[in-house]
Amino acid sequence: MHVRWSEGWRCPACDHDKAWTTARGLWHCARCGHDTSLTAGTIFHGTKKPLRLWFKAMYLITSAKTGVSAKTLQRELGLSYPAAWTWLHKLRQAMSQDEQSPLHGTVETDETMLGKDESRRPGRHKGTKSIVVIAVEDQGKAMGRARMASVDDFSSDSLQGVIERYVAPGSSVHTDGWKGYTGLDQKGYNHPVDVLSEAKTRAAKQARAAATFPHVHRLAGLLKRWLMGTHQGAVHEKHLHAYLDEYVFRFNRRRSHRRTLLFERLVARTVCECAKPYWRIIGREAPDKPLHLAAA
């Protein structure tokens, strides 16, 4: 109750502050007669499971250093696998990077690719891989906050779009010499560039990239290890952005003095908006009947 309405109950229809509870446990507005519930318009909207089970799920996700997979959540909570998978995606929606303040200062930026590509073509070639843009605050030997986003290609629209979305204007964006980053200085960013193509061999180029952008490359390695270790690498490109949101949410709070802070932050985020239903998460235009997701 306090998390949803920290300053007292407000009607979502007319913003009135007077109401009474009905026999069904709903809040009935004294002005417009609108009925609402504690979970309406939140991540828990329409759930058929008790909130304590959701809280247990959130605690499992935030207390485990590497998070949990849908199979683990299924086993721990006694849910069906589709329900556990849906719960995780709804909670990842609450971890969205868009709700966080932009990066600032000196920001290392580079791309990494996930998955396998049988073509083995050299250079920046997507193939069957997924492209992830990583931006992280450079604090000397330490890493600050980070942002990650999956993009379709290496074009300037894709790469610079991520920077404009997650990095505050006036920041120093440190990149390599790829043409997709050309023009950042005209968009209000300081743009130091290190050209890596001068290295003669691929191994030399990779070594130089790791030395020039140490924070980005270390974070890319940690991301790949997490995807492979916790999720066995079974992450579809269509849902990759949700996994990136979870990883960034956890990474940016890695220095919290108490582990329960992640849980508290996640609980506060769950009441901000209504989550997508299962059929929208998987990309359908309309729900099938029946969905057989009573456990969700």
pLDDT > 60? residue 248: yes
At position 160, the amino acid (one-letter code) is Q
Residue 257: the pLDDT is 81
Look up the pTM and report it.
Answer: 0.84
Residue 91: the pLDDT is 94
Residue 126: the pLDDT is 63
CA dist 149 to 166, 207, 235, Å? 9, 24, 14
Query: Mapping DSSP to helix (H, G, I), strand (E, B) and coil, where does residue 90 land?
Result: helix
β-pairing, 142-151 with 172-176?
Answer: unpaired
Range of lowest pLDDT (99-103, 114-118, 149-153) = 114-118
Q: Which helix (H) or strand (E) holds 147?
A: strand 142-151
pLDDT > 50? residue 295: no
| Mean pLDDT value across residues 20-25 | 84
CA dist 118 to 123, 125, 201, Å? 14, 12, 21
CATH number of this structure's domain 101-224, picked from the four choices 3.40.50, 3.30.420, 3.90.930, 3.40.630: 3.30.420
In whole angstroms, what is the distance from residue 295 CA to residue 280 CA? 17
Alpha carbon of residue 67 to chain centroid = 13
Query: Mapping DSSP to helix (H, G, I), strand (E, B) and coil, where does residue 249 land?
Result: helix
pLDDT > 60? residue 60: yes
- In the sheet where 19-21 sits, what is the strand order? 19-21, 27-29, 35-36
What are the pLDDT digits (tens) for 29-39? 888 988 887 78
How many CB atoms lie under 10 A from the CB of residue 14? 12
Q: Check residues 12 and 123 and name the one with the higher pLDDT.
A: 12
Residue 121: the pLDDT is 62
Residue 289: the pLDDT is 55
Range of lowest pLDDT (13-22, 66-75, 140-149, 183-192) = 13-22
CA dist 253 to 37, 104, 170, 256, Å? 31, 17, 25, 6
Domain boundary assignment for the chain: 1-38, 47-99+252-296, 101-224
Residue with tokens 């590497």: 66
Q: What is the DSSP string of 43-76?
A: TTTT--S-HHHHHHHHHHHHHSTT---HHHHHHH
What are the pLDDT digits (tens) for 77-96? 999 999 999 999 999 999 99
**Dihedral sign, Cα of residue 48, residue 51, residue 53, residue 57:** positive
CA dist 73 to 83, 196, 235, 268, Å? 9, 43, 16, 21
Residue 291: the pLDDT is 46
